[in-house]
Amino acid sequence: MDKSQPPSRSLHDLQKAFSDALHYQESDVTNQIVRGQFPAEQLIQIYRNNFIISLSEILEATYPAIKAVVGDECFSQLARQYVLSHPLEQGDVSHYGAGLDDAITQTTELHQTVPYLADLAALEWCVDRANHQPAIHSSFPFHKLQGLTESDFSSLKFEVPHLTLCFDSSYAVVTLWQMVTNNNFEEFDINQPESAIIQHRAKQVFVMNTTSAATALVILSQQQKTLGNADDTMLAMLSELVQQHIFSDVHCQLKGNK
């Protein structure tokens, strides 16, 4: 046996060592690299830079509004920090980027300077998740509301498409996201609470800028509860939600039925 060659290792061990090296963690992977024109550590650094750039580009595509708000340099630093602390655990990168809002919160100086940034990241992640789901092709059956009496109202149970996401924030990040997305900026109060209902529809991801009462009503409906469980602020949003086709169906839960 040629004693100059490193001992054989399993593919899993080599992959783990290489991943550790890419994330600046302790690793002996350089001992496994055959000597050539460039030193092993220099080759690892080249791989590392390309690795960070590739995953940073994924984050940039997922969080364009975050980049627009903080600028290229700050986003690059944030992305690098995220990549190094969040190893890619599978070949499918469509799920990469989860938890950037938490990473922003843990970056104390950035979070204190831009306190709404974490919520904006959470909203963008919801939009990205919706975009990766099959499109919803349902419209609300308005004819089912005909003939209902006032006594039926509390027994109504509205059905929500399965792939519907709700988002609530203490800041006006929905307005901010819409302005960045549409490249149409105007003055607004970032400190106003906002909510969003997000659905992937036939042509685009639909983001409805709304209130926490509306998201509460949608969540109540997702729990298969009737309108009798809704408060007045939630019921006040019902008409708008129906008009926007947030619901896909309605059923009358007859008294005595469970």
DSSP state string for 54-87: HHHHHHHHH-HHHHHHH-HHHHHHHHHHHHHHS-
Beta carbons within 10 angstroms of residue 63's beta carbon = 27
* Burial status of residue 115 (CB atoms within 10 A of its CB: 0-12, 13-18, 19 or more): middle
**Tens digit of each residue's pLDDT (9 = 90 or more) over 31-77:** 444 454 445 565 555 566 677 888 999 999 999 999 999 999 999 99
**For residue 121, which amino acid is it?**
A
Question: Between 26 and 228, where is the model more confident?
Answer: 228
From residue 20, give the alpha-carbon distance in Å to each of 14, 27, 56.
10, 6, 18
pLDDT at 20 over 80: no
Alpha helices, DSSP H, located in the chain: 11-22, 40-62, 64-70, 72-85, 100-106, 108-113, 117-131, 173-182, 212-222, 232-235, 238-243
Q: In which element (H, E) is residue 209 found?
A: strand 205-210
pLDDT of residue 103: 97
Which residues are CB-neighbours of 185 under 8 A, at least 6 positions away?
A: 179
Q: Who has greater pLDDT, 42 or 138? A: 138
The pLDDT confidence band at residue 29, using thresholds 50, 70 and 90, is: very low
pLDDT band at 216 (very low <50, low <70, confident <90, very high): very high
Give residue 203's pLDDT: 86
pLDDT of residue 35: 52
Least confident of 113-127, 178-192, 242-256: 242-256
pLDDT at 42: 55
Statement: residue 258 has pLDDT above 80: no
Q: Are 74 and 110 in contact (CB under 8 A)?
A: yes
Nearest to 247 by CA among 192, 191, 199: 199
pLDDT number for residue 66: 98
* 142-184 residue pLDDT tens: 999 998 888 899 999 999 999 999 999 999 999 999 999 999 9
Tell me: pLDDT of 256 over 70: no
Find out whether 244 and 158 touch, Cβ atoms under 8 Å. no
CA dist., res. 121 & res. 135, Å (int): 22
Domain spans of the chain, in order of start: 1-114, 133-258
pLDDT tens-digit readout, 74-118: 999 999 999 988 988 777 888 999 999 999 999 999 999 999 999
Separation of CA 218 from chain center: 19
Is 147 exposed, middle or buried (CB count within 10 Å of its CB: 0-12, 13-18, 19+)? Answer: exposed
Provide the greatest CA pair distance for the chain: 89
Phi, psi of 109 (to 5 degrees): -60, -45
| pLDDT tens track for 223-239 | 999 999 999 999 999 99
Residue 141 has pLDDT above 50, yes or no: yes
pLDDT at 136 over 70: yes
Q: What percentage of the chain reaches a pLDDT higher than 90?
A: 67
